[in-house]
Amino acid sequence: MPIALPRQTIVPLIVACGLFMENLDSTVVATALPAIARSLGENPLRLNLAITSYLLSLAVFIPLSGWLADRFGARTVFSSAIVVFTLGSIGCGVSHSLGELVAARILQGIGGAMMVPVGRLVLMRTIPKAELVNAMTYLTVPALIGPVLGPPVGGFIVTYSSWRWIFFINIPIGLLGVWLTRKFIANTKEENPRPLDSRGFVLVALGLAGLMFGFETIGRDLLPNDLVAALIVTGVVCTALYVLHARRTPHRILDLGLFQYVTFRANTIGGTLFRTGIGALPFLLPMMFQLAFGLTAFNSGLLTFTATAGAMAMKMTAATIIRMFGFRNVLIGNALISTAFLCSYALFTPATAPALIVLTLLTGGFFRSLQFTSLHTIAYAEVAPAQLSQATTLASMAQQLAQSFGVGLGALILHLTVWWSGGETLTVGHFSIAFLAVAMVSLLSLPFFWVLPANAGEEISGRKATGDASAAKTASPLAERAEIQQDRGRA
Protein backbone atom coordinates (compact mmCIF):
# COMPACT_ATOMS: atom_id res chain seq x y z
CA MET A 1 0.00 0.00 0.00
CA PRO A 2 1.45 3.42 -0.91
CA ILE A 3 1.72 6.06 1.79
CA ALA A 4 -1.43 8.19 1.70
CA LEU A 5 -0.07 11.27 3.44
CA PRO A 6 -0.38 14.50 1.39
CA ARG A 7 2.71 16.18 -0.02
CA GLN A 8 2.59 19.05 2.50
CA THR A 9 2.90 16.45 5.28
CA ILE A 10 5.24 13.77 3.94
CA VAL A 11 7.89 16.13 2.50
CA PRO A 12 8.46 18.12 5.74
CA LEU A 13 8.59 14.90 7.73
CA ILE A 14 11.24 13.50 5.39
CA VAL A 15 13.31 16.67 5.66
CA ALA A 16 12.85 16.53 9.44
CA CYS A 17 14.73 13.20 9.52
CA GLY A 18 17.92 15.10 8.71
CA LEU A 19 17.18 17.91 11.15
CA PHE A 20 16.36 15.39 13.87
CA MET A 21 19.71 13.64 13.40
CA GLU A 22 21.64 16.91 13.51
CA ASN A 23 19.84 18.34 16.56
CA LEU A 24 19.96 15.07 18.49
CA ASP A 25 23.65 14.61 17.71
CA SER A 26 24.68 18.09 18.86
CA THR A 27 22.99 17.75 22.27
CA VAL A 28 24.03 14.13 22.84
CA VAL A 29 27.71 14.83 22.13
CA ALA A 30 27.84 17.67 24.68
CA THR A 31 26.43 15.33 27.34
CA ALA A 32 28.89 12.53 26.54
CA LEU A 33 32.12 14.55 26.29
CA PRO A 34 33.47 13.60 29.78
CA ALA A 35 32.93 9.88 29.07
CA ILE A 36 34.55 10.18 25.64
CA ALA A 37 37.52 11.96 27.21
CA ARG A 38 38.04 9.15 29.73
CA SER A 39 37.77 6.50 27.03
CA LEU A 40 40.31 8.21 24.74
CA GLY A 41 42.62 9.21 27.60
CA GLU A 42 42.26 12.93 26.84
CA ASN A 43 41.67 16.06 28.89
CA PRO A 44 37.92 16.88 28.76
CA LEU A 45 38.74 20.47 27.76
CA ARG A 46 40.57 19.24 24.66
CA LEU A 47 37.47 17.31 23.66
CA ASN A 48 35.87 20.67 22.92
CA LEU A 49 37.64 20.27 19.56
CA ALA A 50 34.99 17.67 18.73
CA ILE A 51 32.38 20.45 18.86
CA THR A 52 34.36 23.32 17.36
CA SER A 53 35.63 21.22 14.44
CA TYR A 54 32.04 20.38 13.56
CA LEU A 55 31.03 24.05 13.73
CA LEU A 56 33.95 25.09 11.53
CA SER A 57 33.14 22.46 8.93
CA LEU A 58 29.52 23.58 9.00
CA ALA A 59 30.53 27.21 8.47
CA VAL A 60 32.87 26.47 5.58
CA PHE A 61 30.47 24.37 3.51
CA ILE A 62 27.08 26.03 4.04
CA PRO A 63 27.77 28.62 1.29
CA LEU A 64 28.31 25.80 -1.21
CA SER A 65 24.98 24.07 -0.57
CA GLY A 66 22.79 26.24 -2.81
CA TRP A 67 25.10 25.95 -5.81
CA LEU A 68 25.32 22.17 -5.43
CA ALA A 69 21.51 21.87 -5.23
CA ASP A 70 21.10 23.94 -8.40
CA ARG A 71 23.66 21.88 -10.29
CA PHE A 72 22.93 18.32 -9.13
CA GLY A 73 19.37 18.56 -7.82
CA ALA A 74 17.97 19.16 -4.35
CA ARG A 75 17.02 15.50 -3.80
CA THR A 76 20.47 14.26 -4.82
CA VAL A 77 22.30 16.71 -2.56
CA PHE A 78 19.94 16.23 0.40
CA SER A 79 20.12 12.43 0.30
CA SER A 80 23.91 12.61 -0.18
CA ALA A 81 24.15 14.94 2.83
CA ILE A 82 22.32 12.37 4.97
CA VAL A 83 24.72 9.66 3.76
CA VAL A 84 27.79 11.82 4.53
CA PHE A 85 26.45 12.72 7.98
CA THR A 86 25.71 9.06 8.72
CA LEU A 87 29.18 7.99 7.57
CA GLY A 88 30.66 10.69 9.80
CA SER A 89 28.61 9.33 12.70
CA ILE A 90 29.99 5.83 12.08
CA GLY A 91 33.49 7.30 11.98
CA CYS A 92 32.92 8.99 15.34
CA GLY A 93 31.66 5.75 16.83
CA VAL A 94 34.74 3.75 15.81
CA SER A 95 37.29 6.48 16.70
CA HIS A 96 40.13 5.53 19.04
CA SER A 97 41.95 8.86 19.22
CA LEU A 98 41.12 12.55 19.36
CA GLY A 99 42.47 13.05 15.83
CA GLU A 100 40.18 10.36 14.41
CA LEU A 101 37.19 11.81 16.27
CA VAL A 102 37.88 15.33 14.99
CA ALA A 103 38.24 14.08 11.41
CA ALA A 104 34.92 12.23 11.66
CA ARG A 105 33.23 15.31 13.14
CA ILE A 106 34.49 17.38 10.20
CA LEU A 107 32.85 14.86 7.87
CA GLN A 108 29.64 15.17 9.88
CA GLY A 109 29.83 18.94 9.53
CA ILE A 110 30.05 18.67 5.74
CA GLY A 111 26.86 16.62 5.74
CA GLY A 112 25.15 18.94 8.21
CA ALA A 113 26.04 21.99 6.13
CA MET A 114 24.05 20.54 3.24
CA MET A 115 21.13 19.09 5.18
CA VAL A 116 19.60 22.24 6.69
CA PRO A 117 19.64 24.73 3.77
CA VAL A 118 18.98 22.09 1.09
CA GLY A 119 16.24 20.56 3.23
CA ARG A 120 14.52 23.94 3.31
CA LEU A 121 15.04 24.27 -0.42
CA VAL A 122 13.30 20.92 -0.96
CA LEU A 123 10.39 22.29 1.04
CA MET A 124 10.24 25.57 -0.91
CA ARG A 125 10.33 23.80 -4.27
CA THR A 126 7.65 21.22 -3.53
CA ILE A 127 5.12 22.98 -1.28
CA PRO A 128 2.73 25.69 -2.57
CA LYS A 129 3.07 28.97 -0.69
CA ALA A 130 -0.45 28.79 0.71
CA GLU A 131 0.45 25.55 2.51
CA LEU A 132 3.87 26.68 3.76
CA VAL A 133 2.95 27.56 7.36
CA ASN A 134 1.48 24.12 7.99
CA ALA A 135 4.44 22.51 6.26
CA MET A 136 6.84 24.38 8.54
CA THR A 137 4.90 23.01 11.50
CA TYR A 138 5.43 19.42 10.36
CA LEU A 139 9.09 20.23 9.72
CA THR A 140 9.92 21.87 13.05
CA VAL A 141 8.07 19.62 15.51
CA PRO A 142 10.21 16.52 14.80
CA ALA A 143 13.32 18.73 14.69
CA LEU A 144 12.51 19.97 18.22
CA ILE A 145 12.43 16.41 19.54
CA GLY A 146 16.21 16.12 19.05
CA PRO A 147 17.21 18.71 21.68
CA VAL A 148 14.57 17.30 24.07
CA LEU A 149 15.78 13.70 23.77
CA GLY A 150 19.48 14.57 23.53
CA PRO A 151 20.45 15.05 27.20
CA PRO A 152 18.45 12.11 28.65
CA VAL A 153 19.32 9.76 25.79
CA GLY A 154 22.99 10.73 25.95
CA GLY A 155 23.05 10.34 29.73
CA PHE A 156 21.32 6.97 29.58
CA ILE A 157 23.63 5.58 26.88
CA VAL A 158 26.79 6.82 28.59
CA THR A 159 25.65 5.50 31.98
CA TYR A 160 24.41 2.06 30.94
CA SER A 161 26.31 1.34 27.72
CA SER A 162 29.19 2.67 25.61
CA TRP A 163 29.41 6.29 24.46
CA ARG A 164 29.96 4.97 20.92
CA TRP A 165 26.25 4.16 20.63
CA ILE A 166 25.36 7.86 20.73
CA PHE A 167 26.74 8.02 17.17
CA PHE A 168 25.50 4.62 15.99
CA ILE A 169 21.84 5.57 16.67
CA ASN A 170 22.09 7.87 13.62
CA ILE A 171 22.48 4.86 11.30
CA PRO A 172 18.82 3.68 11.19
CA ILE A 173 17.57 7.29 11.06
CA GLY A 174 19.91 8.06 8.17
CA LEU A 175 18.92 4.95 6.23
CA LEU A 176 15.23 5.77 6.67
CA GLY A 177 15.80 9.38 5.59
CA VAL A 178 17.66 8.36 2.42
CA TRP A 179 15.02 5.79 1.44
CA LEU A 180 12.14 8.23 1.96
CA THR A 181 13.98 11.00 0.10
CA ARG A 182 14.68 8.85 -2.93
CA LYS A 183 11.11 7.55 -3.00
CA PHE A 184 8.96 10.62 -2.38
CA ILE A 185 10.95 13.76 -3.33
CA ALA A 186 11.50 14.95 -6.89
CA ASN A 187 15.02 15.95 -7.96
CA THR A 188 14.25 19.57 -8.88
CA LYS A 189 17.20 21.63 -10.13
CA GLU A 190 18.01 24.61 -12.32
CA GLU A 191 18.17 23.90 -16.05
CA ASN A 192 21.07 26.36 -16.50
CA PRO A 193 22.96 26.47 -13.19
CA ARG A 194 25.28 29.39 -12.60
CA PRO A 195 29.07 28.78 -12.60
CA LEU A 196 30.78 28.34 -9.24
CA ASP A 197 32.08 31.57 -7.72
CA SER A 198 35.22 29.98 -6.22
CA ARG A 199 36.78 33.25 -5.02
CA GLY A 200 33.53 34.28 -3.37
CA PHE A 201 33.22 30.85 -1.77
CA VAL A 202 36.67 31.15 -0.17
CA LEU A 203 35.94 34.66 1.16
CA VAL A 204 32.53 33.68 2.59
CA ALA A 205 33.88 30.44 4.09
CA LEU A 206 36.79 32.23 5.80
CA GLY A 207 34.52 35.05 6.97
CA LEU A 208 31.88 32.73 8.39
CA ALA A 209 34.43 30.39 9.99
CA GLY A 210 36.29 33.29 11.63
CA LEU A 211 33.13 34.87 13.00
CA MET A 212 31.56 31.62 14.25
CA PHE A 213 34.71 30.20 15.82
CA GLY A 214 35.66 33.56 17.29
CA PHE A 215 32.29 34.18 18.93
CA GLU A 216 32.03 30.54 20.09
CA THR A 217 35.26 30.94 22.09
CA ILE A 218 34.66 34.41 23.60
CA GLY A 219 34.79 34.36 27.39
CA ARG A 220 35.44 30.61 27.63
CA ASP A 221 39.22 30.77 28.15
CA LEU A 222 39.71 28.12 25.44
CA LEU A 223 42.00 30.30 23.31
CA PRO A 224 44.20 33.32 24.05
CA ASN A 225 42.23 36.56 23.82
CA ASP A 226 44.52 37.86 21.06
CA LEU A 227 43.75 34.80 18.92
CA VAL A 228 40.00 35.15 19.51
CA ALA A 229 40.18 38.82 18.47
CA ALA A 230 42.22 37.88 15.38
CA LEU A 231 39.60 35.31 14.36
CA ILE A 232 36.78 37.84 14.62
CA VAL A 233 38.74 40.53 12.76
CA THR A 234 39.58 38.02 10.02
CA GLY A 235 35.91 37.12 9.76
CA VAL A 236 34.86 40.76 9.47
CA VAL A 237 37.54 41.59 6.89
CA CYS A 238 36.75 38.57 4.69
CA THR A 239 33.03 39.36 4.88
CA ALA A 240 33.68 42.95 3.83
CA LEU A 241 35.90 41.78 0.97
CA TYR A 242 33.13 39.49 -0.21
CA VAL A 243 30.65 42.39 -0.29
CA LEU A 244 33.04 44.27 -2.59
CA HIS A 245 33.60 41.13 -4.66
CA ALA A 246 29.86 40.48 -5.04
CA ARG A 247 29.24 43.95 -6.49
CA ARG A 248 31.36 43.19 -9.56
CA THR A 249 30.69 39.46 -9.97
CA PRO A 250 27.58 38.45 -11.95
CA HIS A 251 27.49 34.83 -10.71
CA ARG A 252 28.20 35.37 -7.02
CA ILE A 253 27.85 32.46 -4.63
CA LEU A 254 25.60 34.52 -2.34
CA ASP A 255 23.16 36.94 -3.90
CA LEU A 256 23.12 40.03 -1.68
CA GLY A 257 20.43 41.44 -3.94
CA LEU A 258 17.98 39.34 -1.91
CA PHE A 259 18.08 42.07 0.70
CA GLN A 260 15.94 44.21 -1.59
CA TYR A 261 12.95 42.18 -0.37
CA VAL A 262 11.59 43.61 2.86
CA THR A 263 10.38 40.19 4.02
CA PHE A 264 13.79 38.61 3.45
CA ARG A 265 15.46 41.48 5.33
CA ALA A 266 13.07 40.94 8.21
CA ASN A 267 14.20 37.32 8.48
CA THR A 268 17.94 37.70 7.89
CA ILE A 269 18.73 40.99 9.65
CA GLY A 270 15.86 41.36 12.10
CA GLY A 271 15.79 37.61 12.68
CA THR A 272 19.54 37.49 13.31
CA LEU A 273 19.26 40.18 15.99
CA PHE A 274 16.31 38.40 17.59
CA ARG A 275 18.02 34.99 17.47
CA THR A 276 21.26 36.41 18.89
CA GLY A 277 19.52 37.45 22.10
CA ILE A 278 17.54 34.23 22.30
CA GLY A 279 20.62 32.18 21.35
CA ALA A 280 22.26 33.07 24.67
CA LEU A 281 19.57 31.19 26.63
CA PRO A 282 20.91 27.62 26.18
CA PHE A 283 24.19 28.92 27.63
CA LEU A 284 22.94 31.27 30.35
CA LEU A 285 20.06 29.28 31.87
CA PRO A 286 21.96 26.04 32.70
CA MET A 287 24.93 28.07 33.96
CA MET A 288 22.70 30.14 36.25
CA PHE A 289 20.77 27.17 37.61
CA GLN A 290 23.90 25.15 38.34
CA LEU A 291 26.48 27.78 39.34
CA ALA A 292 24.33 30.47 40.96
CA PHE A 293 21.38 28.41 42.21
CA GLY A 294 23.39 25.30 43.14
CA LEU A 295 21.12 22.86 41.28
CA THR A 296 22.34 19.56 39.89
CA ALA A 297 22.74 19.11 36.16
CA PHE A 298 19.70 16.82 36.14
CA ASN A 299 17.45 19.31 37.97
CA SER A 300 18.72 22.13 35.77
CA GLY A 301 17.85 20.08 32.71
CA LEU A 302 14.33 19.46 34.00
CA LEU A 303 13.78 23.22 34.29
CA THR A 304 15.25 24.21 30.91
CA PHE A 305 13.33 21.37 29.23
CA THR A 306 10.08 23.28 29.85
CA ALA A 307 11.09 26.00 27.37
CA THR A 308 11.29 23.39 24.61
CA ALA A 309 7.97 21.89 25.72
CA GLY A 310 6.37 25.33 25.30
CA ALA A 311 7.91 25.59 21.83
CA MET A 312 6.44 22.24 20.79
CA ALA A 313 2.99 23.20 22.09
CA MET A 314 3.03 26.33 19.90
CA LYS A 315 3.54 24.40 16.68
CA MET A 316 -0.04 23.13 16.73
CA THR A 317 -1.46 26.68 16.76
CA ALA A 318 1.04 28.59 14.60
CA ALA A 319 -0.96 28.52 11.36
CA THR A 320 -4.15 29.72 13.08
CA ILE A 321 -2.40 32.58 14.91
CA ILE A 322 -0.57 33.80 11.81
CA ARG A 323 -3.72 33.58 9.71
CA MET A 324 -5.68 35.53 12.31
CA PHE A 325 -3.21 38.38 12.97
CA GLY A 326 -0.87 38.39 9.94
CA PHE A 327 2.92 38.17 9.87
CA ARG A 328 3.62 41.83 10.69
CA ASN A 329 1.51 41.91 13.84
CA VAL A 330 2.80 38.53 15.01
CA LEU A 331 6.45 39.50 14.51
CA ILE A 332 6.08 42.86 16.25
CA GLY A 333 4.02 41.48 19.13
CA ASN A 334 6.31 38.51 19.65
CA ALA A 335 9.44 40.68 19.62
CA LEU A 336 7.98 42.70 22.50
CA ILE A 337 6.62 39.70 24.40
CA SER A 338 9.80 37.64 24.02
CA THR A 339 11.93 40.59 25.16
CA ALA A 340 9.72 40.92 28.23
CA PHE A 341 10.21 37.25 29.05
CA LEU A 342 13.98 37.55 28.63
CA CYS A 343 13.94 40.46 31.07
CA SER A 344 11.82 38.43 33.50
CA TYR A 345 14.57 35.80 33.75
CA ALA A 346 16.72 38.49 35.35
CA LEU A 347 14.34 38.36 38.33
CA PHE A 348 14.95 34.67 39.04
CA THR A 349 16.66 33.93 42.36
CA PRO A 350 17.32 30.71 44.30
CA ALA A 351 14.21 31.57 46.34
CA THR A 352 11.94 31.76 43.26
CA ALA A 353 9.32 29.01 43.32
CA PRO A 354 10.17 26.25 40.82
CA ALA A 355 6.57 26.28 39.60
CA LEU A 356 6.89 29.97 38.69
CA ILE A 357 10.18 29.33 36.85
CA VAL A 358 8.59 26.46 34.93
CA LEU A 359 5.54 28.54 33.97
CA THR A 360 7.70 31.47 32.83
CA LEU A 361 10.02 29.28 30.74
CA LEU A 362 7.08 27.35 29.29
CA THR A 363 5.21 30.47 28.19
CA GLY A 364 8.34 32.20 26.93
CA GLY A 365 9.22 29.14 24.85
CA PHE A 366 5.78 29.26 23.26
CA PHE A 367 6.15 32.83 22.01
CA ARG A 368 9.78 32.46 20.93
CA SER A 369 8.93 29.42 18.84
CA LEU A 370 6.01 31.24 17.22
CA GLN A 371 8.47 33.97 16.26
CA PHE A 372 10.89 31.47 14.73
CA THR A 373 8.15 29.79 12.70
CA SER A 374 6.96 33.17 11.42
CA LEU A 375 10.50 34.20 10.46
CA HIS A 376 11.31 30.92 8.71
CA THR A 377 8.13 31.15 6.66
CA ILE A 378 7.97 34.82 5.65
CA ALA A 379 11.61 34.83 4.51
CA TYR A 380 10.67 33.39 1.12
CA ALA A 381 7.40 35.29 0.52
CA GLU A 382 8.86 37.52 -2.22
CA VAL A 383 11.72 35.32 -3.42
CA ALA A 384 11.49 34.15 -7.04
CA PRO A 385 11.77 30.39 -7.67
CA ALA A 386 15.16 30.81 -9.39
CA GLN A 387 16.53 32.52 -6.26
CA LEU A 388 15.35 29.94 -3.72
CA SER A 389 18.65 28.06 -3.46
CA GLN A 390 20.61 31.21 -2.68
CA ALA A 391 17.89 32.44 -0.31
CA THR A 392 17.89 29.24 1.77
CA THR A 393 21.70 29.27 1.88
CA LEU A 394 21.90 32.89 3.01
CA ALA A 395 19.12 32.40 5.59
CA SER A 396 20.86 29.31 7.00
CA MET A 397 24.14 31.20 7.27
CA ALA A 398 22.45 34.02 9.18
CA GLN A 399 20.85 31.54 11.56
CA GLN A 400 24.13 29.76 12.29
CA LEU A 401 25.87 33.08 12.92
CA ALA A 402 23.10 34.18 15.28
CA GLN A 403 23.45 31.02 17.36
CA SER A 404 27.21 31.51 17.68
CA PHE A 405 26.83 35.23 18.40
CA GLY A 406 24.27 34.46 21.12
CA VAL A 407 26.51 32.05 23.02
CA GLY A 408 29.52 34.33 22.58
CA LEU A 409 27.57 37.38 23.70
CA GLY A 410 26.29 35.65 26.83
CA ALA A 411 29.79 34.44 27.75
CA LEU A 412 31.33 37.86 27.06
CA ILE A 413 28.78 39.71 29.21
CA LEU A 414 29.35 37.32 32.13
CA HIS A 415 33.10 37.71 31.73
CA LEU A 416 32.86 41.54 31.73
CA THR A 417 30.47 41.71 34.68
CA VAL A 418 32.71 39.49 36.80
CA TRP A 419 35.73 41.59 35.84
CA TRP A 420 33.88 44.86 36.55
CA SER A 421 32.73 43.67 39.98
CA GLY A 422 36.22 42.58 40.91
CA GLY A 423 35.09 39.11 41.92
CA GLU A 424 36.01 35.67 40.68
CA THR A 425 32.77 33.67 41.01
CA LEU A 426 29.48 34.08 39.19
CA THR A 427 26.51 35.31 41.19
CA VAL A 428 22.81 35.78 40.47
CA GLY A 429 23.45 39.49 39.88
CA HIS A 430 25.87 38.75 37.05
CA PHE A 431 23.29 36.61 35.30
CA SER A 432 20.61 39.27 35.77
CA ILE A 433 22.73 41.80 33.89
CA ALA A 434 23.39 39.26 31.14
CA PHE A 435 19.68 38.52 30.63
CA LEU A 436 18.83 42.22 30.42
CA ALA A 437 21.64 42.83 27.92
CA VAL A 438 20.67 40.00 25.55
CA ALA A 439 17.03 41.08 25.82
CA MET A 440 17.96 44.51 24.47
CA VAL A 441 19.77 42.87 21.54
CA SER A 442 16.60 40.94 20.66
CA LEU A 443 14.59 44.15 20.91
CA LEU A 444 16.80 45.71 18.21
CA SER A 445 14.99 43.46 15.72
CA LEU A 446 11.75 45.44 16.15
CA PRO A 447 12.43 48.14 13.48
CA PHE A 448 12.90 45.47 10.80
CA PHE A 449 9.46 44.03 11.61
CA TRP A 450 7.82 47.44 11.98
CA VAL A 451 8.53 48.43 8.35
CA LEU A 452 6.80 45.36 6.96
CA PRO A 453 3.61 46.20 5.04
CA ALA A 454 0.35 45.15 6.67
CA ASN A 455 -0.23 42.55 3.94
CA ALA A 456 3.28 41.06 4.07
CA GLY A 457 3.19 37.35 3.33
CA GLU A 458 -0.59 37.25 3.01
CA GLU A 459 -0.33 34.64 0.26
CA ILE A 460 1.47 32.37 2.73
CA SER A 461 -0.53 33.21 5.85
CA GLY A 462 -3.88 32.52 4.17
CA ARG A 463 -5.40 35.89 5.06
CA LYS A 464 -6.33 36.47 1.40
CA ALA A 465 -9.67 35.36 0.09
CA THR A 466 -9.55 31.63 -0.53
CA GLY A 467 -11.04 29.55 -3.27
CA ASP A 468 -10.08 27.27 -6.09
CA ALA A 469 -8.88 30.12 -8.28
CA SER A 470 -6.76 31.82 -5.63
CA ALA A 471 -5.36 28.50 -4.45
CA ALA A 472 -4.27 27.70 -7.97
CA LYS A 473 -2.41 31.00 -8.15
CA THR A 474 -0.47 30.25 -4.97
CA ALA A 475 1.00 27.04 -6.27
CA SER A 476 4.68 27.44 -7.01
CA PRO A 477 5.79 26.71 -10.59
CA LEU A 478 8.56 24.61 -9.12
CA ALA A 479 6.01 22.68 -7.06
CA GLU A 480 4.07 21.93 -10.22
CA ARG A 481 7.28 20.83 -11.94
CA ALA A 482 8.04 18.58 -8.95
CA GLU A 483 4.64 16.90 -9.25
CA ILE A 484 5.19 16.29 -12.97
CA GLN A 485 8.61 14.78 -12.33
CA GLN A 486 7.21 12.59 -9.57
CA ASP A 487 4.46 11.35 -11.89
CA ARG A 488 7.05 10.54 -14.55
CA GLY A 489 9.12 8.69 -11.98
CA ARG A 490 6.15 6.57 -10.93
CA ALA A 491 5.33 5.82 -14.55
pLDDT in tens, the chain (491 residues): 444 555 666 777 778 777 777 777 766 776 677 778 888 887 665 676 777 778 778 878 888 888 888 888 888 988 999 999 999 999 999 998 888 998 999 999 899 888 878 887 887 777 776 677 766 766 666 555 665 566 667 667 777 788 888 889 889 988 988 898 888 887 877 777 778 888 998 998 898 888 877 877 776 566 787 888 898 899 999 999 999 998 888 888 888 888 888 999 999 999 999 988 888 887 788 778 878 888 776 677 677 777 767 776 776 787 788 888 889 999 999 999 999 999 999 999 999 998 999 899 889 888 888 888 888 888 888 888 778 878 888 888 888 778 777 877 887 888 888 888 877 777 888 899 999 999 999 999 999 999 999 888 887 766 654 444 333 333 344 444 444 344 434 33
User: What whole-number distance in Å separates Cα of residue 209 and Cα of residue 400?
Assistant: 11
The reply to whether domains 1-187+466-491 and 259-456 share a CATH topology is yes
> What is the Cα–Cα distance from 176 to 14, expressed in whole angstroms?
9
Classify domain 1-187+466-491 by CATH number: 1.20.1250.20
How many residues belong to the chain?
491
| Fold held by 259-456 | Growth Hormone; Chain: A; (1.20.1250)
Q: Where are the domains positioned within the chain? A: 1-187+466-491, 197-252, 259-456
Residues in contact with 470: Cβ distance below 8 Å, sequence separation at least 6, in sequence order: 464
Going by C-beta distance under 8 Å and a sequence separation of 6 or more, which residues neighbour residue 221?
A: none
Q: Which residues contact 391 (CB under 8 A, 6 or more apart)?
A: 124, 255, 258, 264, 379, 380, 383
Report the sign of the C-alpha dihedral through residues 67, 189, 394, 213, in that order: negative
Separation between Cα atoms, residue 395 and residue 272, nearest integer Å: 9
Give the predicted TM-score (pTM) of the model: 0.74
Q: What sign for the dihedral angle of Cα 415, 416, 418, 424? A: positive
